[in-house]
Amino acid sequence: MITQFFSNTWLLWILLSIGGLLWWRGRDNQYFHYVFNRYWLALATLLLVSGIVFSLMEVLPGDCAEKYIAYKNTQGETITQADIQAERVRMGLDKSLPERWGRWVMNLTLRGDLGFSCAKRQSVNLALGDRFWMSFMFCIAGLLFAYLIAVPFGILSAFTINKPWKDKNPQHSKVEQWIGTVMLSGQKVLDLLLRIISYLGLALPNFLLALTIILLYVFAGEPMPTGLFSDQWASVPWFGPNGFEMEKLYDFLGHIWLPIFVIGWSATALQLQTVRALVVDESSKLYVDAARARGVDGVALWAGYPVRHSISPLFNSIGFDFQRVFNDLPIVAVVIGLTDSAALLIEALSMTNDQELAAGILFLVALVVISMNFITDVVLAAIDPRVRKSVLGS
Amino acid sequence: MMINQRISENLLEIRDLSIDFNTDEGLVRAVDNLSLSIRPGEVMGLVGESGSGKSITAKSIMRLAPGNAIIQHPSQITLNHRGQAVNVLKLRGRDLRLVRGDAVSMIFQEPMASFAPAIPISDQIIQTMQIHLGYDKDQARRAGIELFDRVGIVDPAKRFDQYVFELSGGMRQRAMIAMALSTQPKLLIADEPTTALDVTIQAQVLDLMMELREQLGMAMLFITHDLGVVSKIADNVTVMQRGKVVEAGIADQVLFQPEHPYTRRLLDALPNLDNLPEAPAHTPEPLLSVTDLSISYPTMGSGRKREMYTAVKNISLDLPEGQIIGLVGESGSGKTSLGKAMLGAAPITSGTVEYHHTKKKVKFGAGKAIKRKRLARTAQLVFQDPYSSLNPRMTVRDIIAEPLEAMKLTKSREETDQRVIEVAKRCHIEVEHLRRFPHAFSGGQRQRISIARALVCKPEFIVADESVAALDVSIQAEILKLLKELKDELGLTIMFISHDLSVIANLCDWVCVMKQGELVEQGTVRQIFLAPQQAYTQKLIASIPLLHSSEGRQQRLPDLLQIAEDSVNACQLQGV
Amino acid sequence: MNALLARFGRKAKPAKNEESYYTAGQLALIKARFKRKTSGVVAAWILGTLVLMGFFAPFFSPADPTIGGADGEYRRGEPQVVFFWDDQGFSLRPFSYSYEKATSKIDLKALAGGGLDALDALTSSGALSSSSQNKFTVDKTQRRYLQFFVQGWEYSLIDLSVAGLDLDIRWDRHLFGVEQGQIHLMGTDEDGKDIFSRTLHAIWVTISIAIVALVVKLVVSLFVGGVSGYFGGRVDTIMMSITEAVRVIPPIPIYLACAVALSQIDLTPIQRYFAIAVVIGALDFATLGRRLRTHILTERNQDYVLAAQLCGSSTWRIIWRHLIPSFTSYIIVDTLINFPYVILAETSLSFLGLGLTEPVNSLGVLLQKAQDPDIQQNMVWQFFPVLVFVVLIMAFVFVGDALRDAADPYSEKK
């Protein structure tokens, strides 16, 4: 009895105890007070998001009862309008929107239940299974890819700003000027290249990039690396009779780079510009000159001063970067032929009109974004004194 | 004595330094053929207004000139380091550390901006010591705390590990000095180190620098626009104007027997306490009365938790008609709030403001609404920042005509134009300039436009809020002259708000001193400057950087200054 | 060429004519600053050309892009190249050749004879596969010369009847054509519609959707930002938390949901087209709304606004004379920078088949076709719209970037 009660309400208890703990610690501690505030603000935003998502899904045609009956119809039963009505009542679909939303939110907060998918004929949690994690991993991998490329190259690009093409310093000897000019031109060309790439990232959206890559494969006459595995490996288990299947891993790696590259592509372009702007902004500040005047130079200067100070705002944007990446994922999934939750989302929205499933996926994405925002806010307030000052007062 | 010295005797020798800036308009000369030398232990004052090239000179000694600055042939900067003459302009790579810390250190104008905000001060100082002195971390830490103690920072061990924004303004500059000294340099370059500070703190910092210089025997290149400050600290003075040296020599000689008219003009801007205006025979009637005025602003939070910060506490004040009234105070004293309240632009929580002898009587205050248009025709404001106070999208004519058009004071466009031209001439703005946009003008000209706008609806009272603070000394003088003219010819009453006592002494008839929202003292200029009654006023007056001859420099007011420090600290505690 | 370079170069300096610089208003200043950025100027020319060609697409198109103008004789045809010279000599007037549909030589006799070899040969020759259904042979002896300002199908050059005005200028001249038949610079699609003409028409359709979407977006953002910034307090808090919540949800799935809902309603293509634009615009208020709010808050505290207040200006006068002018340049620039994003949103929707659909010419529709393996393998020239799309977006991005830098001429203090 009691176990059942708890297994039905476990999420609520977790949420409440986290909140309680934060409140208790925040009574005399400014930082935890701030964390507590952020916590309930995040929960409130989530509630708002769930409301928006839930009511938005109302625009999709049909409802669960109709779909269920239609399903029965294919089984050979004849049904009338009255049957549909009865089914509606049974499923609670005759209630008003706020009432249904309230129930949905309640189930969600009590035990993380995202509802029932009519088209899939199973609970949304089950239908999603690990597919959401798959999308999540795609996005994270894409973001990592983007950061790994954008951060170093963005810094490099920022390094060249306001530098001339030619070294015309009269204090340098002819040879020095010549060497300087070569170095400067090299940097400038690199910068130009990076800028063109970052513009291309916008002009050549993900799906076009995917198409282009596929087209290249067509020209080369190679099999396309769509999906996650080649046909022959798709059904082979990871651990075969000969131990771990390295071949399958190679095959997997041969496929996985495409979605990650494509997803990371425009994020990379955007991040390149952001990193560049941030570092340029920081490096023009007086404290960098002051550090230089103290003899700090080279890597210690760049890494310790402008770059170090640009990290916080970059870190702060992770949540919305994730949102942006996920935003592109459905189209990419269609082009590349993925079977993750983004593909499911497209299917739910445009083919099966599965309101619950679509709402569930969208809500989960929002949940990830909001949690990321919450975590970055809280972490930054802990480690960055500038943020701490602005959010905690002193 | 100092013209033809052999290089070996000089610590730093700059010869024929010419610097061009590479701009969109082509090469622009910033420094033209500058020569300068500093002997060990000497303090050289480098004086000039903005754009004179003094900062870029200092930066090129440290090889910190920005990328678009081109140091032309045959410029030479030579540093005498351990008996060897080092050509600074040819230094490369790691060798640059010689001028960046080893032998030369620099103090910047804004201590807040010159420390990295997200790194504790301790880390930055320790890093510097590790680079230059080869200390290990503990050694550097101990030395750093010792330095903090030495520059007069209270509780040095605690302050050492704080971030720069956690310190008060004076503390920051002290920490900056500690940072500069941490490498034990032979030459300290100080670029306007006290300009951003309040007078009392400025005096303390100057005293500290002199003390340190005596103890450590450092040479110093002291860059400033303020001859008063220079006279207090420098042995030799070089005056620059538009990239050229116009006068150089021993401090006493340059300051007391200036040859170049530009030096004389700079000197004229200094307060002359021997020549203060006489008070008028009888005290005029008050033009406006401020009664029990309090002003509070909401600070953090909202709703029930909202905290209020009281900027002005229960001030009562009568302003005499037809005079220039100076309102003096340090930052955070509430002087701007008081000035704005007189124009109905600050949240009055209690008390009233009443205009008596004006065309139309105006009275407002807590619970009494403002008759905005009536007030606008009676009292106007001239802002501090000549850039943000003019709408950049309107022509000068439209800006000046704004009050006329907004209140529909004129009947036709011709009449408006006529009034605008009239007032423009009055403020020495050329009529052809009326169709230009503000971006065509320099700060001083913009301030004239601002004054013209204030005058166009013929008010009787003008509040000038730090209206010359952003301007160079020689331009300040012109604006002050204009204000005096206006007072004499139009019978205006002007309230001049300033933190700069020298400006007040040159301009005002009557002075009010404010401190932390309260009125400390008021009286005629002579009373306040020559016989101040209150301790705070005395301290303020004592902090004015007046011209000192080299003998007169020993006079200091340590006790009074300590009081000032305490009051500032108290201020910080209250969250100002 | 030198004159052109000088135009693009850094010669246009205010120093030459100082008075004109001093009396230059905001727009003139922006223009002067914009001109300094060579890449922006070049991009602006490209963009201008593309947009102009898009707007007067019927004039620049050699063929009617609808099914009515499809060239039945030249389906799935590859691009017809224009030459100035060939073996027969040089011609000032560009020309193309005539193309003949290749009649596949099916050896019917052998087939009738039941020879298996013949059947084999037939299959392996590919004559039956779709790719070779429309092979064309070039008749190099038959030159077809290009003609300019030719008469063709009638179109309306400027049609304001949509706006309720009685103005509909009809014309039937086209910039170029060819004697005998049509010219297909970029080939044709499977219906024989001219790709080049379709692309030109698609540019304007896509841009006009973007314009409608941006106008809607602007109105909504102005409302949200204005109300939030002006009233402040509780209204601000509520507005901003809703905005924050909307910002968190990925927009494309939401557009998708709305597009699906729209597809349920019976709409004419033109209504559908506007509906999609409105949906894209209306849901994209979060970023601009927030920015406008901050802008209002900062601008409201500027000294010159206080100065206007002290001059006795009424609230309306302050809003009208001071605040709104301070927004306009900002809004215009922001709108231009957002163009590519909105175009991307439209193409994404159309790409998924939920925005505009065939036979409408929009870049998204044309891009969607690039997904078709048949096109990827046999009609590469149908990727021409992709190229135009990339150039168009690049041009927008470069112009937007240069404008962003030039937009606030008052940012640097003199």
Q: Any idea which architecture C201-407 has in CATH?
A: Orthogonal Bundle (1.10)
Nearest to B108 by CA among B270, B239, B223: B223
- Paired sense of beta strands B362-365 and B348-355, if any: antiparallel
CATH code of residue B74: 3.40.50.300
On whether both B494 and B381 belong to a single domain, the answer is: yes
Which member of B24, B392, B435 has the closest CB to residue C13? B24
Backbone phi, psi, residue C159, to 5°: -125, 105
Which member of C22, C304, C313 has the closest CB to residue B437? C22
Helix (H) or strand (E) holding B519: strand B518-524
A contact chains, 3+ CB pairs < 8 A: B, C
On whether both B89 and B53 belong to a single domain, the answer is: yes
- What range does the domain containing B133 cover? 106-184
Backbone phi, psi, residue C77, to 5°: -85, 145
Count of domains forming chain B: 3
Which member of A44, A202, A369 has the closest CB to residue C248? A369
Q: Does any domain span residue B218?
A: no
User: pLDDT value at position B551?
Assistant: 55
On whether both B454 and B331 belong to a single domain, the answer is: yes
Rg (CA), chain B: 26
On whether both B336 and B398 belong to a single domain, the answer is: yes
Answer whether B482's CB lies under 8 Å from B451's CB. yes
Question: Rounded to an integer, what distance in angstroms lies between the CA atom of residue B128 and that of residue A138?
Answer: 44
Q: Does any domain span residue B551?
A: yes
Low-confidence stretches of chain C (pLDDT < 70) are: 1-19, 69-72, 101-135, 159-167, 179-180, 407-414
Q: Does any domain span residue B122?
A: yes
- Cβ distance B377 to C312 less than 8 Å, yes or no, reads yes
On whether both B16 and B141 belong to a single domain, the answer is: no
DSSP state at residue B291: E
- Cβ distance B71 to A171 less than 8 Å, yes or no, reads yes
Extract the tokens encoding C170: 């009809």
Which member of B376, B435, B437 has the closest CB to residue C311? B376
Low-confidence stretches of chain A (pLDDT < 70) are: 71, 75-77, 233-234, 393-394
Interface mutation vs chain B, best among A33, A287, A389, most B CBs within 10 Å: A287
Residues of C in contact with B389 (CB under 8 A): 303-304, 306-307
Nearest to B202 by CA among B532, B574, B561, B566: B561
Burial category of B369 from C-beta neighbours within 10 Å (exposed 0-12, middle 13-18, buried 19 and up): exposed
- Cβ distance A205 to C348 less than 8 Å, yes or no, reads yes
B contact chains, 3+ CB pairs < 8 A: A, C
Interface mutation vs chain A, best among C241, C248, C351, most A CBs within 10 Å: C248
Residues of B in contact with C26 (CB under 8 A): 392-393
How many CB atoms lie under 10 A from the CB of residue B257?
9
Extract the tokens encoding A47: 């509630």
How many CB atoms lie under 10 A from the CB of residue B463?
28
Q: Does any domain span residue B284?
A: no
Nearest to A190 by CA among A223, A158, A167: A158
pTM: 0.81
- Paired sense of beta strands C136-159 and C168-178, if any: antiparallel
ipTM of the predicted structure?
0.83
- Cβ distance C322 to B391 less than 8 Å, yes or no, reads yes
Residue B310 to chain C, least CA–CA distance (Å) = 20
Q: Which residues pair with C151 in a beta bridge?
A: C173
On whether both B335 and B412 belong to a single domain, the answer is: yes
User: pLDDT value at position B239?
Assistant: 92
On whether both B4 and B37 belong to a single domain, the answer is: yes
Nearest to C303 by CA among C322, C277, C286, C320: C322
- Asked if the peptide bond before residue B74 counts as cis, ω within 30 degrees of 0, the response is yes
Tally the C-alpha atoms within 13 A of residue C146's C-alpha that lie toward its C-beta: 19
On whether both B75 and B134 belong to a single domain, the answer is: no
pLDDT tens, position by position, for chain B (576 residues)? 333 444 457 888 898 999 988 877 778 888 888 998 898 888 999 998 887 888 889 889 988 888 788 888 888 888 888 878 888 888 888 888 888 888 899 998 888 888 998 899 999 999 999 989 888 999 999 999 999 998 888 888 888 998 888 888 888 888 999 999 898 888 999 988 888 788 888 888 888 888 888 888 889 999 988 888 888 888 899 999 888 899 998 888 888 888 888 888 888 777 777 777 776 666 778 888 888 889 888 765 444 455 678 888 888 988 888 889 999 988 888 888 899 888 888 888 888 888 886 667 788 877 777 778 888 888 899 988 888 888 888 889 999 999 998 888 888 889 999 999 999 998 888 888 888 888 888 888 889 999 999 999 888 899 998 888 878 887 888 888 899 888 888 888 999 998 888 888 888 888 999 988 889 898 888 888 888 888 888 888 888 877 766 555 444 333 334 444 454 454 444 433
On whether both B383 and B515 belong to a single domain, the answer is: yes
**Domain residue ranges in chain C:** 80-183, 201-407
On whether both B408 and B497 belong to a single domain, the answer is: yes
- Cβ distance C257 to A335 less than 8 Å, yes or no, reads no
- Cβ distance C348 to A331 less than 8 Å, yes or no, reads yes
On whether both B177 and B256 belong to a single domain, the answer is: no
How many CB atoms lie under 10 A from the CB of residue B561?
18
Give the start-end residues of each E strand in B216-333: 219-224, 236-241, 244-250, 286-298, 308-320, 324-328
On whether both B133 and B262 belong to a single domain, the answer is: no
Q: Does any domain span residue B143?
A: yes
Please check whether residue A299 touches B, CB under 8 A. no
Question: Rounded to an integer, what distance in angstroms lies between the CA atom of residue C370 and that of residue C356?
Answer: 15
Extract the tokens encoding B513: 């001193």
